């Protein structure tokens, strides 16, 4: 039986109601893989993406907020299914994307302008039709403009939220006064050996090493001093955590007393009643996140999802669920009672109080520093 006949028979069974849509798509996908089919299965695969898109994010309370307040309501409204995946870090996800076929991944919750820049520079960006995303008008202009500069005036994403990677500490063991005194250097305090944690991420390690050696994180001059600080932290730390869920567990269970951590995850711990403090040290790590559309994705369906997620009622609900301020401009949108209480929230909408990573500086050092961090982790 040739491939075309197989396809026609499967399609006939689907149209007759003998198999449901999910089974039909699974069967033609399996047939395509088994027989190396390019057509007509490939033609149908393009059509199927109109009825479903894939979204990958950070998991935990963040993904839960997306599912409950955005993806579920969007599917009910449009009939477009959002296939929800997760990742633990930006480098891990990029490796998946680079190994995938175009169109296999569609949207991603990326962190920072430096992520946007490297995806764009790798040819993984697209050009969104902003006329299909009218809710962009509610977004803080500064957050949009930084992306436009990278991609020549067009957008391959919409800004969605922002926050900080500050220092979380167990108040049963570390006082607010001690935190104010030691700041970022508490993460290399010998007295806390075995009770220190840290994110398994070369950028965060290097950013905090800059603070610990009294350097500007966006202009690190004494690189060796920074690596020495990272080695010191490595030797004192109980472990590196690799996800927000693990970060929260280590702090909640008292396995560690101090670590850098994501502002929204720490707020979630505080909401749960844990005696965890949070501090943004001077020149602390501010970041913004975007919803990025990858090359090869079904643009109109993705744009419809983006516009739905930027609607104030959706964006506010997600923000309250994930505990990160939305990208909405507080001068244009009433953000309610909870959002102004979140860490890192800027009531002015200028974000002047946050220090963001310079994409040219950090992407320019990515290859060498990421490789060096890999060796340092192994004890070198």
All domains of the chain in start order, with CATH:
3-48 (no CATH), 55-162+287-341 (3.40.190.10), 163-285+359-377 (3.40.190.10)
Residues above pLDDT 70, as percent of the chain: 87
Global pTM value? 0.81
Instruction: Please give the pLDDT value at position 88.
Output: 83
State pLDDT tens for residues 154-186.
Answer: 999 999 999 999 999 999 999 999 999 999 999
Q: Does residue 280 sit in helix, strand or coil?
A: coil
Distance (Å, whole) CA 145 – CA 149: 6
Report which of 141, 143, 96 is spatially closest to residue 116, judged by C-alpha positions.
143
Query: Is residue 63 over pLDDT 60?
Result: yes
Task: State what percent of residues in the chain have pLDDT above 90.
Answer: 82
Q: How many residues appear in the chain?
A: 380
Give the Cα separation of 328 and 332 in Å (integer).
8
Could you tell me the pLDDT band of residue 89, with boundaries at 50, 70 and 90?
confident
Q: In the structure encoding, which two tokens stand for residue 206, read together?
A: 């290097």
Q: How confident is the model at residue 377 (pLDDT cuts 50, 70, 90)?
A: very high
| H-helix or E-strand spanning residue 230 | helix 223-236
- Each residue of 339-359: pLDDT tens digit? 999 999 999 999 988 999 998
Q: Give backbone dihedrals phi and psi of 2, rounded to 5 degrees, phi first.
A: -80, 170
Please state whether beta strands 157-170 and 81-86 pair in parallel, antiparallel, or not at all (unpaired). Answer: unpaired
The pLDDT of residue 43 is above 50 = no
């Amino acid at each position: 039986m040739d491939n075309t006949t197989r396809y026609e028979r499967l399609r006939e069974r689907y149209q007759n109601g003998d198999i449901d849509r999910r089974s039909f798509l699974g069967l033609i996908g399996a047939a395509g893989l088994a027989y190396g089919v390019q057509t007509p299965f490939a033609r149908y695969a393009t059509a199927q993406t109109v009825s479903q898109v894939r979204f990958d994010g950070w998991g935990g309370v963040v993904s839960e907020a997306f599912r409950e307040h955005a993806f579920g309501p969007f599917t009910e409204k449009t009939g477009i299914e959002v296939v929800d995946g997760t990742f633990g870090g930006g480098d891990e996800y990029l490796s998946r994307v680079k190994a995938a076929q175009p169109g296999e991944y569609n949207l991603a919750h990326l962190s920072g302008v430096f992520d946007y820049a490297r995806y764009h520079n790798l040819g993984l960006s697209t050009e969104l039709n902003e006329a299909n995303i009218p809710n962009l008008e509610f977004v803080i202009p500064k957050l949009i403009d930084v992306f436009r500069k990278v991609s020549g005036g067009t957008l391959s994403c919409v800004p969605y939220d922002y926050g900080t990677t500050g220092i979380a500490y167990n108040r049963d063991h570390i006082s607010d006064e001690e935190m104010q005194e030691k700041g970022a250097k508490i993460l290399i305090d010998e007295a806390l050996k075995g009770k220190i944690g840290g994110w398994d991420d070369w950028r965060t390690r290097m950013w905090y090493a800059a603070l610990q050696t009294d350097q500007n994180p966006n202009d690190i001059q004494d690189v060796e001093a920074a690596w020495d600080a990272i080695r010191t932290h490595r030797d004192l730390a109980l472990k590196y955590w690799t996800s927000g869920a693990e970060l929260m567990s280590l702090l909640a269970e008292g396995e560690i007393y101090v670590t850098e951590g994501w502002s929204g995850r720490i707020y979630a711990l505080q909401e749960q009643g844990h005696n965890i403090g949070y501090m943004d040290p001077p020149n602390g790590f501010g970041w913004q996140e975007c919803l990025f559309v990858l090359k090869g994705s079904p643009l109109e369906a993705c744009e419809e999802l983006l516009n739905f997620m930027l609607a104030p009622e959706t964006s506010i609900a997600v923000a309250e669920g994930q505990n990160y301020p939305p990208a909405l401009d507080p001068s244009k949108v009433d953000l309610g009672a909870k959002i102004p209480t979140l860490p890192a929230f800027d009531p002015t909408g200028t974000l002047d109080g946050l220090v963001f990573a310079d994409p040219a500086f950090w992407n320019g050092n990515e290859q060498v520093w990421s490789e060096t961090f890999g060796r340092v982790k192994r004890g070198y």
